Amino acid sequence: MTEKANNIRVTKNAEDVFTALRIFFELINMAVPKVDNQLTDAEIQLLCLFMSLPQDKFRHQRFGKLAKKKVLELASNNNWELSVINLNNKIYSMVTKGFLVRDEDGIITISNKIENAVKKLLTDKEITFTYEVHLKESTD
């Protein structure tokens, strides 16, 4: 058994927050065993944009119309041409993969486990990942 801990630290700089979120989602992605259920680079970037929106304004409608408009604006400012249709398709893909969930009213939110970890990262400015790797002995 090998055990390793990684710390992600966040400063007050918005670019650092985005970078920390990106590293966070890349680490989460590595833990997903089925490749088809892993996030693409574009999906990770979108999640970072959505999660970096102000909590007080977008907490209950993180993937609503106003939030999508803001994310499209941020993407455009970063030379990423993203259409509304493409954005929606990426959101629906993340729902299928289980990173986002749709409630009985059709409201899309980030899964509770991921949201709680992101809150901890943004509040405490640090989060520690501990992971284990177990290798089976060969029967040859």
The residue with greater pLDDT, 33 or 95, is 95
**97 pLDDT exceeds 90?**
yes
The residue with greater pLDDT, 1 or 46, is 46
Q: Is residue 73 part of a domain?
A: yes
Please give the single-letter amino acid code of residue 135: L
**111 pLDDT exceeds 80?**
yes
Q: How confident is the model at residue 9 (pLDDT cuts 50, 70, 90)?
A: very low
Q: How confident is the model at residue 13 (pLDDT cuts 50, 70, 90)?
A: low
Helices and strands counted in the chain (H then E): 6, 4
Q: Is residue 97 part of a domain?
A: yes
Q: Is residue 71 part of a domain?
A: yes
Give yes or no for a contact between 43 and 22, defined as CB atoms under 8 angstroms apart.
Answer: no
Q: Give me the pLDDT at residue 1, please.
A: 40
3-state helix, strand, coil in the chain (%, to 5): 55, 15, 30
Q: How confident is the model at residue 14 (pLDDT cuts 50, 70, 90)?
A: low
Print the domain residue range for 121: 2-133
Residue 6 pairs with which residues in a beta bridge? 129
Q: Give me the pLDDT at residue 4, please.
A: 44
Q: Is residue 92 part of a domain?
A: yes
Q: Is residue 64 part of a domain?
A: yes
Q: Is residue 138 part of a domain?
A: no
Q: Is residue 140 part of a domain?
A: no
Q: Is residue 112 part of a domain?
A: yes
Residue with tokens 């907490």: 59
The region of weakest confidence among 26-35, 45-54, 80-89, 116-125 is: 116-125
Give yes or no for a contact between 118 and 99, defined as CB atoms under 8 angstroms apart.
Answer: no
Please state the domain count of the chain: 1
Mean pLDDT calculated for residue range 89-96:
96
The residue with greater pLDDT, 6 or 91, is 91
